[in-house]
Structure 1
Amino acid sequence: MGPPRDAPRARAPCNGRTRLRAPTVPGSAMGEPSEPHGPRVRRRSRAPLGLPGRALRRDLSQLVCAVAGLLLGLLTPLVDAGPQVASDRVVSMLFTIGFGVISLASIIYSMLFLVVQFSASTFTPRLGLFRDEPIVWRAFAFTVGVFVFCITSALAVGARPEVSAAVPCAAMILTLVALALMRTLQMRAFASIQLGHVLSAIVDRAHHVFDALYERPYGGGAPPGPGPRAPTATAPAITVHWTGAAAVLQRIEVTALVRAAADHGGSVAFRVAPGVTLTRGAAIAEVTAGGAAEAALRTALGRALVTGVERTFDQDPELPLRLLADIALRALSPAVNDPATAVEALDRVEDLLARLVGRELDVGGFRDDAGRLRVTVPVPDWERYVRTAVDDVGYAAAGSAMVLRRLRDLLLRLARYAPASRRAVLEERLRWVERAGGGAFPLVWTPPPDG
Structure 2
Amino acid sequence: MRRDLAQLVCAVAGVTLGVLVPRLSLGPQVDAGPVVTLLFTLGFGVISLVSIIYSMLFLVIQFSATTFTPRLGLFRDDPIVWRTFAFTVGVFVFCITSGLAVGARRATVSTLVPGAAMVLTLVALALMRSLQTGAFRSIQLGHSLTAIAARAHRLFDDLYVRPYAPGTSPDPDPGPDPAAGTTTVLWSGPAVVIQQIDVRTLVGAARERDCSIAFLLPPGTTVSRGMTLAEVTGGDVPEAVLRGALETGVERTFDQDPDLPFRLLADIALRALSPAVNDPATAVESLDRIEDLLNRLVGRELSIGHFTDGSGRLRVTVPVPDWERYLRTAVDDVLYAATGSPMALRRMHDLLAGLAERAPESRRGPVRDRLRWVDRAGRERYPLAWPGGASPGGASRAPRRA
Residue 218 (1) aligns with residue 164 (2): yes
The equivalent position to 1:78 in structure 2, one of 23, 29, 32, is: 23
Residue 138 (1) aligns with residue 79 (2): no
The answer for the alignment partner of 2:340 in structure 1 is 399
The answer for the alignment partner of 1:256 in structure 2 is 201
1:338, distance to aligned residue in structure 2 (A)? 0.6
The answer for the alignment partner of 1:371 in structure 2 is 312
The answer for the alignment partner of 1:24 in structure 2 is none
1:202, distance to aligned residue in structure 2 (A)? 0.8
On the 8 A contact 2:60/2:75 being kept in 1, the answer is no
CA RMSD, 1 decimal: 1.7
AA in 1 matched with 2:31: A
The answer for the alignment partner of 1:117 in structure 2 is 62
Q: How does 1:379-394 map to 2 (within 5 A)?
A: 379-394=320-335
**What's the secondary structure of 2:214's corresponding residue?**
strand
AA in 1 matched with 2:234: A
Q: How does 1:37-436 map to 2 (within 5 A)?
A: 56-158=1-103, 160-220=106-166, 232-290=177-235, 294=236, 296=237, 298-436=239-377
Indicate how the Cα distance of structure 1 residues 356 and 247 shifts in structure 2: closer, same or farther if over 3 A, else same.
same
AA in 2 matched with 1:287: V
Alignment partners' CA distance in 2, 1:232 and 1:90: 77
Runs of 4+, deviation exceeding 4 Å: 227-231
1:108, distance to aligned residue in structure 2 (A)? 3.4
Alignment partners' CA distance in 2, 1:325 and 1:353: 13
1:421, distance to aligned residue in structure 2 (A)? 0.8
AA in 2 matched with 1:64: V
Alignment partners' CA distance in 1, 2:42 and 2:268: 43
Identity %: 67
**What's the secondary structure of 2:178's corresponding residue?**
coil
Deviations along 1:222-269, whole A, 9 cap, x unmatched? 9xxxx9976533421011111111111111110110111011100111
Deviations along 1:12-66, whole A, 9 cap, x unmatched? xxxxxxxxxxxxxxxxxxxxxxxxxxxxxxxxxxxxxxxxxxxx11111111111
Moved more, 348-357 or 71-80: 71-80
1:106, distance to aligned residue in structure 2 (A)? 1.7
On the 8 A contact 1:289/1:297 being kept in 2, the answer is no
1:220, distance to aligned residue in structure 2 (A)? 2.9
On the 8 A contact 2:379/2:388 being kept in 1, the answer is no
TM-score, with length taken from structure 1: 0.83
1:299, distance to aligned residue in structure 2 (A)? 3.6
Moved more, 203-212 or 347-356: 203-212
Moved more, 425-434 or 102-111: 102-111
Indicate how the Cα distance of structure 1 residues 108 and 286 shifts in structure 2: closer, same or farther if over 3 A, else same.
closer
Alignment partners' CA distance in 1, 2:184 and 2:327: 31
TM-score, with length taken from structure 2: 0.92
Indicate how the Cα distance of structure 1 residues 343 and 251 shifts in structure 2: closer, same or farther if over 3 A, else same.
same
Deviations along 1:276-296, whole A, 9 cap, x unmatched? 110111111111234xxx1x4
* Greater helix fraction, Structure 1 or Structure 2: 2
Alignment partners' CA distance in 2, 1:231 and 1:422: 32
**What's the secondary structure of 2:48's corresponding residue?**
helix
On the 8 A contact 2:173/2:312 being kept in 1, the answer is no
1:396, distance to aligned residue in structure 2 (A)? 0.6
Aligned length: 385
Indicate how the Cα distance of structure 1 residues 270 and 229 shifts in structure 2: closer, same or farther if over 3 A, else same.
farther
AA in 1 matched with 2:113: V
AA in 2 matched with 1:363: I
Alignment partners' CA distance in 1, 2:303 and 2:110: 67
Alignment partners' CA distance in 2, 1:350 and 1:333: 21
**What's the secondary structure of 1:183's corresponding residue?**
helix
AA in 2 matched with 1:390: V
**What's the secondary structure of 1:396's corresponding residue?**
helix
Deviations along 1:61-82, whole A, 9 cap, x unmatched? 1111111111111111112221
1:87, distance to aligned residue in structure 2 (A)? 1.2
**What's the secondary structure of 1:398's corresponding residue?**
helix
The answer for the alignment partner of 2:397 in structure 1 is none
Structure label with greater radius of gyration:
2
On the 8 A contact 1:230/1:268 being kept in 2, the answer is no
Indicate how the Cα distance of structure 1 residues 201 and 228 shifts in structure 2: closer, same or farther if over 3 A, else same.
farther
Gaps of 5+ in 2: 390-402
Moved more, 174-183 or 300-309: 300-309
